[in-house]
Amino acid sequence: MPQNLLGAVLTFVYFRYVDPSTEGIGSRPGWFEIAYSVVAFAALAGVGYWLGRRWTRRLQQSGGGAADLETRRRALLVPFLLGGITFLGWALAGVIWGVLLLWLLGGLSWPLALRTIFGTTVVAGTVASLYAFLSAERRWRHILPEFFPEGGLVGVRGVPRLRVRSRLLIVFLLISVVPVSVLGVVSYTRARALVGAGPEAAGSLVSDVLVLIGFVMVVGMAAAVGLAISVSRSVAEPLGALAGAMAQVEEGRLETRCPVVSNDEIGEVTEGFNRMVHGLQERERVTEIFGKYVSHEVRDEILAGRVALEGQQLEVTILFCDLRDFTPWVEATDPREVVRDLNGYFGEMEAAIRGQHGLVLQYIGDEIEAVFGAPVAHADHAEQAVRAAMDMRARLAAWNRDREHAGKAPLRHGIGVHTGVVLAGSIGSRERLSYALVGDAVNLASRIQGLTKELGGDILVSGTTHARLGGRIPLVRAAAAHVKGRTAEVEVYRLA
């Protein structure tokens, strides 16, 4: 309504001051002209309302979120529809008042009709239609994302893509061509009036031309400023929203999404931004999941590319931990309870290992294999492994106290620790890889864990690990023992 009211004001000003010869027959309208105008206006308003309702009925029925492709296409066309309906109304108005009314009044002449159509349709209609389009587009942008919750505006076919360059060009042409055309009409009509006019009338006409030129310049500048503000807001507002969303992402809020409100270059950039943020969110999720398999320090080193996973020889400390009497416990316990208890036990043990910068390589039934000093090197990996074993012992004792309060039997485990050189790297198939250790040191660490059943004690440490500790942790020498796969006895120490 404001845009059509603006067009009506422009029409009145044009026919009252710029081209008054097109006012029609007689200076005052008769009853027929008044009745005709009321009926014609009601008919134009009714047709415009009917077209708008017919087009938007499907949009109202869809409710936005579950919209199909045709509904989404119509949603994108709403600003074009309202701008087109507005221009159609003004085009019909030019014919109704510039041709049909003059014909009914018996004063039809095509030069006069064309001048009437120009003032009604070209001058007032184009300005009103462009304002209607920009206003509808701006207001519709608050509703449009309901039809495109996941974006995808750019890919909808059958919708004009009014790019930013075209938008600016249209406004520039309008604010430059229309005032020049109006000035041309002023010059033409007043030049014709000067033909045969007396000196006094000529002077009055010249003064009138100067006033009209000033008036057209003021009105043209006002219209130009208004259109410039409208078109600049149509570009600046979505860019401002995008800048705000970027600031939120910079603060770490990866759930941020910027609504896509157009299918032009800004819409393309916004959709690209949303895809980028979605990718960052997926990467963050993968990083968090990755952090459940390795410590955060190891995860960050691997993702930063500072850790070689293709295979390298390293001196590391390996820890094996195995539950005692696991099979009888499983046979006597409900399977769901076994899984819950195992998960709780593994959670406590892994927390102790991670607390000393260790990496759990795998769970094998009730057994844990962990490494210290790989893939991120640590000079004191032997001490870290032994202290992790001590923490595992303390955590198991606290966990067993909770089990006893719940009426459950306590669990026991044995831990073996050994330091040696291994081949470390990503091992597996093309479809699945795992970080693993290969070498005799791994087998020996597993065998030392098995010696806890024979030699007693819950934590046994190899002589190599004992030498790396340098006396920082007190150990008691146990009897030398034979292990499978070795002819020489293995020197082991017990953690008191």
- 435: number of Cβ within 10 Å: 21
Note the pLDDT of residue 297.
60
Length of the chain as a residue count: 496
Pick the range with the lowest mean pLDDT from 19-28, 179-188, 288-297, 473-482.
19-28
pLDDT digits (tens, 9 = 90+) for 229-261: 888 888 888 888 889 989 998 888 888 888 888
Amino acid at 383: E
Q: Which residue has the tokens 């570009």?
A: 235
Of 400, 433, 420, 399, the residue nearest 466 (C-alpha): 420
Decide if pLDDT at 321 tops 90.
yes
Domain residue limits, the chain? 2-250, 308-495
8 Å CB contact between 261 and 144: yes
Q: Tell me the average pLDDT of the chain.
A: 82
Reply yes or no on domain 308-495 having CATH 3.30.70.1230.
Answer: yes
Note the pLDDT of residue 397.
95
Q: Which residue has the tokens 């007396």?
A: 198
Q: Exposed, middle or buried, 50 (CB in 10 Å: 0-12/13-18/19+)?
A: exposed
Note the pLDDT of residue 23.
46
What is the arithmetic mean of pLDDT over 38-46? 87
pLDDT digits (tens, 9 = 90+) for 326-359: 888 888 899 999 999 999 999 999 999 999 999 8
Distance, CA of 295 to CA of 293 (rounded, Å): 7
Note the pLDDT of residue 306.
64
